[in-house]
Copies of this chain bind each other. A is one copy, B any other.
Amino acid sequence: MAEKKKDKSALYVRKGVKPSSAGDDAVKRFQKAKRPKVPVSEYVKGILAGDMGMLSQAITLVESSLPEHKEDAVKIVEQCLEHSGNSIRIGITGVPGAGKSTFIESLGSYLTKQGRKLAVLAIDASSHKTGGSILGDKTRMENLAADPNAYIRPSPSAGSLGGVARKTRETIILCEAAGYDTVFVETVGVGQSEIAAHSMVDFFLLLMIAGAGDELQGIKRGIMEMADALIINKADGTNMRRAERAKSIYENTLNLFPPKESGWTPKILTCSAIKGYGIERVWNNIMEYKDNTTENNYFADNRSSQAIYWMYETINEDLRNNFYKDPAICEKLSSLEQKVKEGKISPFKAAGELLDQYIK
C-alpha cells in the first residue's frame, strides 16, 4: 500500500494529474516506465523558478528509498538550503472531528488571497499501517487544490516516524526555495507525529471543538502544552455559547502550565472555518507571535536549535536503522525479546548479546 501511494504521487508530479483521479492502470504503467535521469542542476533551477512540477519530482526523490535517488536528493536539498528559511512554518493538529481540512482550506485561501504562497505538508506515520494517509484524498481540500498559489503534498508514506518526519523537514527546505512563504505541517493528533512536527515549525496550533466537557479526552498527553494557540472551531450558530464556555475552561487549564521558553503566552481563539469567522484573528495572532519572537530572538534561536536537533536525530535514526536491519540482529532479536518479556534474561544482558553480535 505504501509503495502504491508513493507511485501515485510520482505520477501526479509527471502528469499533473491528482492522485485521486489516477487509475490503477496508469499507476502500473508509470511503475514500469523508465524516466530519463534529470540532472541535479535542472531540479534546482526548476525549484528556484517556482516550477511546481520540478518541486514535486524533487520531493519524490527526497521521499525515495533508492540509494541513487537519495544521493541526488541530498545535493538538491543542499543547494536549495541558502534559498530557504524565508517563511513562517506552522504546525496544525486537532482532535478528530475538529474540522482540520476545512480550517486549512479557510485559513489557506485567506492567505493566498493576500498574495502569500502556501505549501501544505503532512506528517502521518500511521498511514503505512492504516493504509490511508490524512492527505491522500485531496478532494477534501478542493479550493486549495485548485489554487495556483497553494501546493498540497501528502505525507511521505514509507518507513518509521523518524524517517517520515525527516523527509517532511527536507521538503520544507525545497518548498521555501521554490518561493512558498507559508508552510503548514498537518498532523493527525496521535502524539508522536506532533512532537516531530513541533520540532520543525515556528508556531504550533491545536484545533479543538466545544464538546461535552470532556473535550480534551481525544488529545494525547503533552500536545496541549506544545500549542502556541488553541483554536476552538465550529463556533457558529447554536454552538457559539458552548464554544465560549469551552474557551474559559481551557483558559483555566492553560494558566496552570509553566511559561514557555519563547516568552509567548498561548491564546485561545474561537472561529468558524466554514463561515470564515475569526480566521483573520487567528492569522493576526500568528503574526503577533512572529513579531514578538523575532524581537526577543527566539524565532531565529529556535530554528538553529531545530536544525541541530535534526542533525542528531538523523544520526541516531541512521545508527538504529543500520543496527536493526542487520540480518544477524534480525535473526536473534525476537527470541531475545521474548526471553526479556518472560524475565528469563535481563534487558541489559540481552542488549549486550545483540551489541556483541553486531560488532562482530
A residues within 8 Å of B by Cβ?
74, 77-78, 81-82, 85, 166, 169-170, 173, 214-222, 225, 249, 252-253, 255-259, 304, 307-316, 318-320, 323, 336-337, 340-343, 345-352, 354-355
Task: Using known A-B contacts A252-B252, A258-B217, A341-B307, determine if residue A348 contacts B222 with beta carbons closer than 8 Å.
Answer: no
A344 CB, min distance to chain B CBs, angstroms: 8
Copies in the complex: 2
Nearest B residue to A73 via CB reads B348
A181 and B90 CA atoms in complex are apart in Å by 50
Beyond the given pairs A316-B319, A316-B320, 9 more chain A to chain B contacts, judged by CB atoms under 8 angstroms and listed by A's residue number, are: A78-B345, A82-B343, A169-B347, A218-B258, A252-B252, A304-B342, A311-B340, A314-B348, A319-B355
Chain B neighbourhood of A348, CB < 8 A? 74, 77, 166, 169-170, 310-311, 314
**Distance A316 CA – B74 CA, assembled complex (angstroms):** 25
In the docked arrangement, what's the CA distance between A310 and B352, Å? 12
- In whole angstroms, what is the CA distance A310 to B336 when docked? 13
Distance from A263 Cβ to chain B, minimum over Cβ atoms (Å): 15
Bound form: Cα–Cα A258–B349 in Å: 36
Q: Are B349 and A78 in contact (CB under 8 A)?
A: yes
What distance in Å separates the Cβ of A30 from its nearest Cβ neighbour in chain B?
27
